[in-house]
Structure 1
Amino acid sequence: MKTASITEAKNNLSKLIDGLRSGPVLITDRGRPVARLDAAAFSAAAEQDARIADLERRGVLLPAREPLPHDFYTRPLPKLPEPGSLLRALLDEREENR
């Protein structure tokens, strides 16, 4: 188990918290154990919510404006274009712009 003095813990708390995946940290005061810093146990749903909140906070993910419709996953898929039609459309557009 990793150990850190109270001063080290105070000055490097973020680093210690980031390192909790590798195991708990024993906090000592003049060499005597006084506390243990350990990762909190989260449910899978709570962990997913925390990750989504972090992505939203960093601006990587935008929150949904409204919930998905109830039939979203059971709706028929949109009809896909014929194979090669996208490439043909891009090449045609390219020729038009010349």
Structure 2
Amino acid sequence: MKTASITEAKNNLSALIDGLEDGSPVLIADRGRPVARLEAALESDDGADAGRIARLVREGLARPARGALPLSFLAERPPRADPGESAVDMVIAERRESR
């Protein structure tokens, strides 16, 4: 990810926007501290979503699918929290169990 200061972003905004076509966002920093991120707003129909997913996987924010979802996945009712238990606690417990 390219980094630009606020002054550089102000003076070269058109060039930074043109550079977004390769799918790489620009991090804008104020005295070395990140304050904003400039990224493309519209996705094209030529597989740009696949590029975005690949970027999320590279950054460790998503994991690639291990296979197709079973057909029964959508037929099953989602789990419900027990009275007094929060959904967040359920998610944390599932992650600890590696589900």
The question of a shared fold, defined as TM-score above 0.5 by the shorter chain, is answered with no
Give the shorter-chain TM-score range. Answer: 0.3 to 0.5
Largest Rg, 1 or 2? 1
